[in-house]
Amino acid sequence: MKSKYFLDSCVFIRSFDKESPEKMKKSKDLIKTTLKSNKGIISYHVIQEFLIEAMHKFKNPIKAVDCKVYVSNFLFPICEIFPTIDLVKNAIDIIVETELDFNNAIKLAAAVQGNAKVYYTEVLGNLYEIKGLKVVNPFME
């Protein structure tokens, strides 16, 4: 991974997925590489999605105090994109162009704003491109 890349919340969520050990391992490896390389980024929206899933939707929800530690150690260090009016406008432009939902469009807009070249997600399929950003499913590589 030579270029800057963006990690979707699914990467962090899958790192807790004991029912899919291969995806869990790939997620953990990608997160570890990201923290070492300084090439991976996320947005505030990824943190928000992770916390909603971890504290409320996981089979065994994570306690808020433990989420705070996880977010502080793994997500805050790579969070570079925060909500702005321009980010929302760019997300709406992506919606017009692609008909994606706002949740995915705002993260794609964040990745573009952060100058990422690759967007890692399992949600949008594989080898999809938008605005110079290559969408890759990290679990299919």
Rounded distance between C-alpha atoms, residue 2 and residue 117, angstroms? 10
* CATH code of the domain in which 86 resides: 3.40.50.1010
Determine, yes or no, domain membership for 12. no
pLDDT of residue 74: 96
| Predicted pLDDT of residue 125 | 73
The larger pLDDT score, comparing residue 127 to residue 36, is at 36
Single pTM value for the model: 0.93
User: pLDDT tens, 37-68?
Assistant: 999 999 999 999 999 999 999 999 999 999 99
- Band of the pLDDT at 127, cuts 50, 70, 90? low
Residues above pLDDT 70, as percent of the chain:
97
Q: What angle do CA 15, 9, 91 make, to 5 degrees?
A: 165
Is position 21 within any domain? Answer: no
How do the residues of the chain divide into helix, strand and coil, expressed in percent and rounded to 5? 55, 15, 30
- Average pLDDT score over residue span 11-35: 95
Contact between 41 and 79 (Cβ < 8 Å): yes
Mean pLDDT, the chain, rounded, equals 93
pLDDT value at residue 14: 96
pLDDT at 88 over 60: yes
Half-sphere exposure of 38 (CA within 13 A, CB side): 0
Domains in the chain, number: 1
Is position 16 within any domain?
no
The reported pLDDT for the residue numbered 1 is 59
Structural domain boundaries, residue 117: 27-136
